[in-house]
Structure formats: C-alpha cells, structure tokens
C-alpha cells in the first residue's frame, strides 16, 4: 500500500494525521488495529510523503487556489495581507455607497467584482475608493457646516419696514425681531445714547414720534 493510499484510508475513516518530529500522530487515538499496523509498517514512506506535502503547501501558499484570489504579475502576498486589503476595500466601498445612496443591486454587483478581482489590483482600488471617500466626506462636512450655520442663525430676517438685513449675532445692532417681541415700533428701541444704527433709512425719533401720536 502506498503512503498516499494509506492516508486516504485514514481520512475516510475520520482520522487526522500529523508529523511531530520523527513521530506520526493520529487523532482521535482509537485507530483500528489493521490501520495502526499499516501505519507502523509504512512509517518511513508516510513521514517522507507528509514532509514533502508540507513543503509543497508552504511554497504554494501565495499562489491561486480554488475560489481564492488571483495574483498575476505581483509579488506574492500572504493570505493575511490579501484578507486585510479585501476587508478595508469592502468597508470603504460600503461607506461610499451609504453616503451616495447606492441601490442594493449596485452595491452587491461591485462587491461581487471585488471578490473576484486579481489581488494585484486590491491596493490600487483601495487607494482610489479612499480618495473618493475623502472627497465625498469633505463635501458632506461643508454641507453640514452650512446647515448648522442656517440653524444657528435662523433669525436672519429682512426688516419689513426698511428691508435692512438684520442678524442676531453679527452686523449692525438692529434686532427687529427683538423689538417686535417687546411690542415696540420699528427702530423705537434704538433711539438711545451710544447706540449705533447704520441703517441709512433710519431716522432717529421717528418711532417715538409715531408712537406719541
């Protein structure tokens, strides 16, 4: 019996075979006597076969495997490196999709392409989508700043009398909404010493005179 055939019999019976130094370890330990005798008889062949198989596996660890990543024209990458690039690329694409509001179909299609693409293109694609995400996030931040400014300064109004733009926090000290809330006529409350009014249409005392009538 060849070493390959004996290992196949052990595998079919549910046993795992490992090399530990010059010993062969079989688990679980309840090996049928016939198989155990065959292992002892062909131990040198088994050791040589298993060591050769281990070396071949190490040499081929960076090469394409069934359903795995294809790496043409690229320095071999470890499985961990490929997995890390894939995870980062999927996460970045997901963020872009969320911000841009992709459909589920478009997202699934692109992620499917990523899963089947050559590993040699992963780093470049990740750099592209990271740059795209940065640009999108910059636009989103600018838009959010604008929304917050509008929310914080929603008191910007045009005065119904003189069409002067007023603001609660900036510009001339004209607060038409405050005066209206206090029941004052237009500009009444500004007719006071040391109060600067830059509205060219304002006439000091106009409000008081109108109120006194």
Cis amide linkage into residue 194, ω under 30° from 0: no
Asked if 147 and 168 sit in the same domain, the reply is: no
pLDDT at site 1: 67
Instruction: Report yes or no on 138 lying in a domain.
Output: yes
Which residues of the chain carry a pLDDT beneath 50?
A: 56-66, 154-182, 188-202, 204, 206-213
| Predicted pLDDT of residue 82 | 80
Domain count, the chain: 3
Q: Which pLDDT does position 128 carry in this prediction?
A: 92
Closest CA to 132 of 168, 92, 190, 166: 92
pTM of the model: 0.39
Task: List pLDDT tens digits, range 148-166.
Answer: 655 555 444 444 444 444 4
Q: What is the DSSP letter of 118?
A: B
How many other CB atoms are there within 10 angstroms of residue 85's CB atom? 19
Are residues 128 and 95 both part of a single domain? yes
- Of 101, 118, 152, the position where a domain reaches its end is 152
On whether both 181 and 138 belong to a single domain, the answer is no
- pLDDT tens digits, residue range 71-106? 555 556 677 788 888 889 989 999 999 988 899 888
Tell me how far apart the alpha carbons of residues 7 and 13 are, in angstroms, rounded to a whole number: 10
Last residue of a domain, one of 152, 168, 198: 152
Distance CA 126, CA 131 (A): 9
Angstrom distance (rounded) from CA 83 to CA 69: 10
172 class by beta-carbon count within 10 Å (0-12 exposed, 13-18 middle, 19+ buried) = middle
The DSSP code for 18 is E
Tell me which residue range forms the domain holding 201: 157-212
pLDDT of the residue at 117: 79
**Are residues 94 and 81 in contact, defined by beta-carbon separation less than 8 angstroms?**
no
139 and 170, same structural domain?
A: no
pLDDT at 54: 59
Q: Is residue 46 part of a domain?
A: yes
- Asked whether residue 33 is assigned to any structural domain, the reply reads yes
Whether residues 107 and 135 fall in one domain: yes
The reply to whether 161 and 143 lie within a common domain is: no
CATH number at residue 47: 1.10.10
């Amino acid at each position: 019996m060849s070493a390959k055939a004996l290992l196949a019999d052990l595998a079919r019976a549910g046993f795992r075979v490992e090399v530990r130094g010059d010993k062969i370890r079989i688990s679980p330990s309840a090996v049928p006597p016939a198989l155990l005798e065959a292992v002892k008889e062909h131990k040198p062949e088994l050791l040589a076969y298993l060591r050769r198989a281990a070396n071949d596996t190490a040499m081929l660890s960076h090469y394409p495997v069934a359903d795995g990543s294809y790496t043409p024209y690229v320095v071999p990458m470890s499985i961990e490196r490929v997995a890390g690039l894939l995870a980062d690329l999927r996460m970045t694409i997901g963020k872009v999709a969320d911000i841009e509001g992709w459909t589920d179909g478009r997202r699934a299609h692109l992620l499917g392409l990523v899963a089947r693409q050559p590993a040699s293109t992963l780093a470049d694609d990740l750099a592209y989508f990271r740059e795209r995400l940065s640009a999108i996030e910059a636009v989103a931040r600018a838009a959010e700043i604008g929304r917050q400014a509008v929310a914080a300064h929603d008191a910007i109004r045009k005065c119904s009398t003189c069409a002067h733009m007023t603001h609660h926090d900036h510009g001339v000290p004209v607060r038409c909404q405050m005066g209206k809330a206090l029941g004052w006529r237009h500009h009444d409350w500004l007719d006071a010493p040391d109060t600067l009014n830059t509205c060219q249409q304002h006439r000091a005392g106009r409000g008081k005179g109108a109120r006194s009538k």
